[in-house]
Structure 1
Amino acid sequence: MEGVRMSSWPRTCLCLCRSDEAVGGCLHSRCETRQRSGLSGASHMAAVDAEFPILGLCKRALQWRLRARKAQFLIIHDRAGYREVCKAKERLGNVWAQAVDVCSLDRFGHVDLLLALSMGFDHVVIQRVTTPNTAATQAQEIELAQAMGANERLVLYSSAKDLCKALAMAPKTPGRWRTPPPAISSSRQGTARACACVLLPDDSEPIPLPSDAPYGAVQLNASACSMCENCVWLCPTDALSVSDHTSELLFVESNCIQCGMCKSICPEDALRLEPRMMPSPISDGQRSLHQTAHAYCISCGEPFTTSPVMDRLLSRLLSNDTVLSEEGRNQKVQKCSTCRVREIRRLREKRLVEVGLSHLEPRRCR
């Protein structure tokens, strides 16, 4: 087989550091681009390009792929792995590959892998990390990308022999590119969901993901939920909320990052995390997890809490003889805060009349 010329495998250097402290210390061309865009005032598209360093390559690959019938390979390696890529160039022919030299292999995450596979590249071959600390991170990202639609189109290699084998086994003429490109947003999580919708089968059934995946749903044991709303106040992404007009717990799956804060704060242990991937039209909408009746103030009749919270509070009061010995305590908890304040003021004025000090004005807090 005739050897491939060095120019047939274009080489690009990308910096994946998204920290400002790393801009001055990295020699890749991506950092220089970020510095120039920062001086001129980055627009929305510049912010998107900065968040996805590989997006420019994907756009060019998609344009070429729409016109050609030849498969495109994306090879991800670091500086130490460039020699292995050169050896593979000399052995293979009839392969169109784009070699990308990245500053850190463990920073090339599942979002970048999914973006490449859903925008022009048929296969991604990435160099295996040998450092124990970063190898676990890479393995997690690879597993997550494969679960979200990459499957056998994503391969790891450790040597030039492995690289040649991966390129030789993949089909070279898979046909024209028929997949529409995903909708790119400035959010990495939203872009990953869009890419997964392109790569996964057109089905409404959820796809299970690894346990550490930042995508998924929250399942609720409605019989144990007391609607205390602790999970709502602690949720950092507003995935959980309470309806303004009804006592209803709402959930938006596309906002959930599976952080587990809602599960940790729930006093009834009623929440459970389910890592999964749902299609965007379904995951973007609100769905009801639980709905309960209102508890109404016995004085003014306005709703002020939920029925499960009130029932639980009254059951604890009824089981405490010391509390019941105080007259009217069980009725006070069934009043809203406004009525309780009014009751306190009324009792205070009554007490002042009894001691003959009704002419004194009560002090008010400023």
Structure 2
Amino acid sequence: MKTLICDCNRTMTLDRPALARALEATPKANADGIADVHSVLCRREAPAFQRAAKSGEELLVACTQESRLFQELAEQTEGAPGLAERPIRFVNIRETGGWSRDGSAATAKLAALIAAAQLPPPEPVPTVSYRSVGRCLVIGSGPRAEAAAAMLDGKLDVTLLVEGGELPQQHERVVMRGHLTGLKGWLGAFEASWESSNPIDLDLCTRCNACIAACPEGAIDFGYQVDLARCTSHRDCVDVCQAAGAIDFNRSARAEEGRFDMVLDLQAVPAFTMHEPPQGYFHAASDDELIRVAMELREMVGEFEKPKYFHYEQRLCAHSRNQQIGCSACIDVCSTQAIRSDASLKGKTAGRVRGLAAPLTAGIVVEPHLCMGCGACSTVCPTGALSFAYPGPVDLGRRIHTMLSAYSAGGGRHAALLLHSQKEGTERINELGRLASAGRAHGVPARVLPLALWHNASVGLDVWLAAFAQGANQVWVLVGDTEAPQYLQALNEQMAQAQAIVSGLGFAGEHFRLITASTVPTLDAALQAAPAQGVPKPAPFNILSDKRATLEMALSHLLSQLPTKAVAPDVIALPRAGALFGSLKVDANKCTLCLSCVGACPSNALADNADQPQIKFIEKNCVQCGLCETTCPENAIELEPRLLLADGGRTRLQSRVLHEAQPFHCVRCAKPFGTRMGIENMIAKLAGHAAFQGAAASRLKMCSDCRVIDMYSNSNEQRITEL
């Protein structure tokens, strides 16, 4: 790969030899491809770019300011491959660090940014398709709906659903009166339902105005609906409308529905109240918003695609078992309501194990047409059943590892990884860099490594801890003013978990922080935070697609790289909210060892013992989903969020007994069956029941085999007696 760098008219200090040395020491980075430092590559030095383009090599240009110009220039350069065949990559080294006050010391950071940009693009993901032919439903009052329809005419097939307000004399489009009762769907597949109860049918009305003139109470106006509060049943309007037959006071309320590709909602209260409404739905409360969304709606005809942002592994899901709900973190955090509980398996069984019904596993359903790609569901998922795919954890992990390795190879210290959204976060950082170039701000410090994500909520504890283990002293997430409240809550909870673990291991300082920068000066100040204590030796591992495996590798490395004089505690207490690690407390006075919890556990953290009444537990496998807690009929289980580190963390890998009880021995053959507490509870509860008296009561104390034998023997004795 050939890399072209430019100091943008000498406004940055770029050290080409130092950059090359840093890249030479970075696996998978290309140092040989770095050309000389240019100053005006986009102007008089453009021939250097053209020569590079004609070489046929992959091309990386360290400038995003003039990306469009470079692409056009490549297309016009004779002998250069087309952009479809060999796309040009771009990386911003100017606003992200070169223009900061310590830009002269940012060589290690610039090498990190270039090394990450040289990596191959992530693997492509499946796509989700939408098809719109332009059927648009406009909901609102008559005059405003008509004004909106006029803006959309010529491009869209508009239908109006109005409730109140006058209508124009000319009948140019389909207009329906009624109250919206339901709306669901997405671009190309909206389903609307409404109810109409007025005597005048607008579909039949010719707007001849005869009814308005005939009504003695003035109960009909140019909205062509009867004001039933003013009407005194003269029915003069019915007489003058006989030819059209549009007025019928005996008409019952009608429930109607229709399918549309787009919806323009002009109501004061939007039909969709979630933070992120579906694609194809627009709400415009003001006239300024109406003009903006009308322009967008006019372009939403045709076929569209977007990435399928998530990957779901149902076998890992800890949402529900046996019709009991455990973890619902993804459902709670989704701002588009794209995730719902899967009730399709309700009432069914999943086979039989040891003669008993096997645990019934049901998961969640994610509607890809509603998903907007925030990735928050993957962040809060305790098992990794939901993972973000744009890019996936492996591609993102490779990028982070490469950045940190190049930064360290270039002599950088105290790296702070700044994760931000690809759009809003990038704009905020660029604005900060611009002010820094004019001396009005410090700019992004040399130790801060910005990394753009599709959405800042798409990564969580596994990526943050892995990055810390790989040499990032701090991990910060930049959020904007428009984030969904549930995203901020989820990120804060995950931050608290990460900080509790790192602080518990003895690392000093604040390592994980959510930066909410509503203004550029606020962001500038936040990025000047003091460094925290990092690992003595960065980890060599790469982030895996398996979330729990990544977490285990990160924890293992941190335990091996404790700060000087620090001793790992046996247990680190974790906040309850968002906990991914922990144990269980079992109340021995309540537990009857019915083993419902064992059957419900989705992660094999709980197990029974075939030889004696026991509940066994492997703490490493517990994801704190709560299924055991909600399944337990005696309410004997309580979650205990914590990280067990005794014996170097080996204890949490081993099976241990959470609870055990004395077995009850059959009064006939002395074989153990059940537990003493369980049998005694059953006998006490059935003591007054008529069916369990005398011999029947004694059989409750027998094993299943002896119970059958006793019933058969008593039956034969009774028969002999009768004979």
TM-score range, shorter-chain basis? 0.7 to 0.9
Q: Distance in 1 between matches of 2:535 and 2:514?
A: 25
Q: Is the 8 A contact 2:471 2:534 kept in 1?
A: no
Q: How far does the alpha carbon of each residue in 1:161-183 deviate from its partner, in whole angstroms, 9 at most, with x for none? A: 344334433349x8994254568
Aligned with 1:312: secondary structure? helix
Q: Distance in 2 between matches of 1:232 and 1:252?
A: 12
Is the alpha carbon distance of 1:262 and 1:18 closer, same or farther for their aligned partners in structure 2, counting shifts above 3 Å? farther
Is the alpha carbon distance of 1:183 and 1:197 closer, same or farther for their aligned partners in structure 2, counting shifts above 3 Å? farther
Q: How far does the alpha carbon of each residue in 1:57-87 deviate from its partner, in whole angstroms, 9 at most, with x for none? A: 2332453366454223322111122122224
Report how far residue 276 of structure 1 moved: 1.4
1:312 aligns with 2:695: no
Q: Distance in 1 between matches of 2:678 and 2:127?
A: 49
Report how far residue 219 of structure 1 moved: 0.9
Equivalent residues in 2 for 1:1-366, closer than 5 Å: 6-7=92-93, 8=110, 10=113, 25-26=306-307, 50-64=392-406, 67=409, 69-71=411-413, 72-78=415-421, 79-89=423-433, 90=436, 91-92=442-443, 95-130=446-481, 131-133=483-485, 134-149=487-502, 152-157=510-515, 158=517, 159-171=519-531, 177-181=536-540, 186-199=545-558, 202-212=567-577, 213-279=579-645, 280-318=649-687, 320=688, 322=690, 326-348=693-715
| AA in 2 matched with 1:60 | T
Is the alpha carbon distance of 1:21 and 1:156 closer, same or farther for their aligned partners in structure 2, counting shifts above 3 Å? same
Higher relative contact order (CA 8 A, sep 6+): 1
Normalised by the size of structure 2, how large is the TM-score?
Answer: 0.41
Aligned length: 333
| AA in 2 matched with 1:340 | R
Aligned with 1:223: secondary structure? coil
Q: Is the 8 A contact 2:445 2:528 kept in 1?
A: no
Aligned with 2:612: secondary structure? coil
Q: Distance in 2 between matches of 1:294 and 1:147?
A: 41
Aligned with 2:616: secondary structure? strand
Q: How far does the alpha carbon of each residue in 1:317-351 deviate from its partner, in whole angstroms, 9 at most, with x for none? A: 44x27456x32122101111122223334445556
Where is the helix percentage greater, Structure 1 or Structure 2? Answer: 1
Structure 1 vs Structure 2: percent identity of aligned residues? 22
Q: Distance in 2 between matches of 1:69 and 1:116?
A: 18
Aligned with 1:178: secondary structure? coil
Aligned with 2:594: secondary structure? coil
Q: Distance in 2 between matches of 1:240 and 1:121?
A: 36
Where is the strand percentage greater, Structure 1 or Structure 2? Answer: 2
Q: Is the 8 A contact 2:460 2:491 kept in 1?
A: yes
Moved more, 9-18 or 308-317: 9-18
Moved more, 261-270 or 150-159: 150-159
Q: Distance in 1 between matches of 2:444 and 2:462?
A: 30
Report how far residue 104 of structure 1 moved: 1.4
Q: How far does the alpha carbon of each residue in 1:216-258 deviate from its partner, in whole angstroms, 9 at most, with x for none? A: 1101222332222221122222211112222221111111121
Considering only CA atoms, is the larger Rg found in Structure 1 or Structure 2? Answer: 2
Q: Is the 8 A contact 1:65 1:120 kept in 2?
A: no
Q: Is the 8 A contact 2:425 2:480 kept in 1?
A: no
Q: Distance in 2 between matches of 1:217 and 1:16?
A: 37
Q: Distance in 2 between matches of 1:123 and 1:166?
A: 13
Report how far residue 277 of structure 1 moved: 1.6
Normalised by the size of structure 1, how large is the TM-score?
Answer: 0.76
Q: How far does the alpha carbon of each residue in 1:123-163 deviate from its partner, in whole angstroms, 9 at most, with x for none? A: 22321243233322222222222223276122333244344
Is the alpha carbon distance of 1:335 and 1:128 closer, same or farther for their aligned partners in structure 2, counting shifts above 3 Å? same
C-alpha RMSD of the superposition: 3.8
